[in-house]
Amino acid sequence: MPVVEITQLRLKGLLANDPALLESLSHARSKLQTNSRFFSCIDESSLIYIFGFWPSLDAHLKFLASPARDEVLGPQEAILDFQWTIHLELDATTRQLFDAPFLAVTRLDVDAADVEAYNQVVADHAQKALSKDRGPLGVTYAWRCDLPAGSHESVILTTWGSKGHGSPEAGRHITLEHDDDGSFRRILFHRAWNIERTQS
């Protein structure tokens, strides 16, 4: 099953709009053929996100354990610190979300007993977000596919097409924080701009 890799990295000694960053990221993308997209975090400017497409989770894990990993990603260690990586199973039609100028990522931890109820909550949430006056281009969600049995984390991805919707004041309405009984809890909510399509 194809997966989307979401990797968070922290910048070291340069800004997201530095041409050297995009050159380095693009070089790795061409080597890996992952059709990756690069986003800079609006809420914390020292963070960037990489969204990469792999034929399977195993394919990415094998690359990370191979000598090719150091060859391709080693040069980036001078300018980027690794923070975390997660993987989602998303169908091919969802890839167009990552071409949007702005994107929001929400990570939610969900209790095992409440997975079915959560599915309805997030479906309602997406419908409300799409119906807002300045609504997003798209809202989708998926479950992490790299967790041990019994653990459940959902990731909601929301995209916009204009800078106004990506400003620090916008997008607040599309995040879920927690529910009343604590069956799911927000781990992270970040908004980001597409480094290749948008000026900060």
Output the tens digit of pLDDT for each of the chain's 200 residues: 899 999 999 999 899 999 999 999 999 999 999 999 999 999 899 999 999 999 999 999 999 999 999 999 999 999 999 999 999 988 755 777 888 899 999 898 988 888 888 888 877 777 776 666 555 567 888 899 999 998 999 998 888 776 555 444 444 444 555 555 567 788 888 999 999 986 54
| Residue 36: strand, helix, or coil | coil
pLDDT for the residue numbered 99: 87
CA–CA separation, 179 and 176 (whole Å): 8
The three-point CA angle 196-102-152 to 5° equals 115
What pLDDT does residue 22 have?
A: 95
State the Cα angle at 152 between 185 and 7, rounded to 5°: 85
Q: Which token pair is 100?
A: 């949007």
Q: Do domains 3-92 and 94-194 have the same CATH topology?
A: yes
Q: Are strands 37-41 and 47-54 parallel, antiparallel or unpaired?
A: antiparallel
98 close to 196: Cβ distance less than 8 angstroms? no
- The first and second tokens of residue 115, run together, are 């997975």
CB 146 within 8 A of CB 87: yes
The DSSP symbol for 183 reads S
Q: What is the pLDDT of residue 127?
A: 73
> With 0-12 CB in 10 A as exposed, 13-18 as middle and 19+ as buried, what is 163?
middle
Domain positions in the chain = 3-92, 94-194
User: What pTM was estimated for this model as a whole?
Assistant: 0.85
Which of 6, 23, 7 lies closest to 90, judged by CA?
A: 6
Four-way CATH pick for 94-194: 3.30.70.100, 3.90.226.10, 3.30.70.270, 1.10.150.20: 3.30.70.100
CATH number belonging to domain 3-92: 3.30.70.100
Q: 173 CB contacts (<8 Å, ≥6 apart)?
A: 128, 129, 132
Q: According to the model, what pLDDT value does residue 65 have?
A: 95
| Residues comprising the chain, all counted | 200
Q: Which two tokens stand for residue 62?
A: 């094998």
Q: How far is it between the farthest Cα atoms of the chain?
A: 50
Rounded Cα distance, 129 and 125, in Å: 6
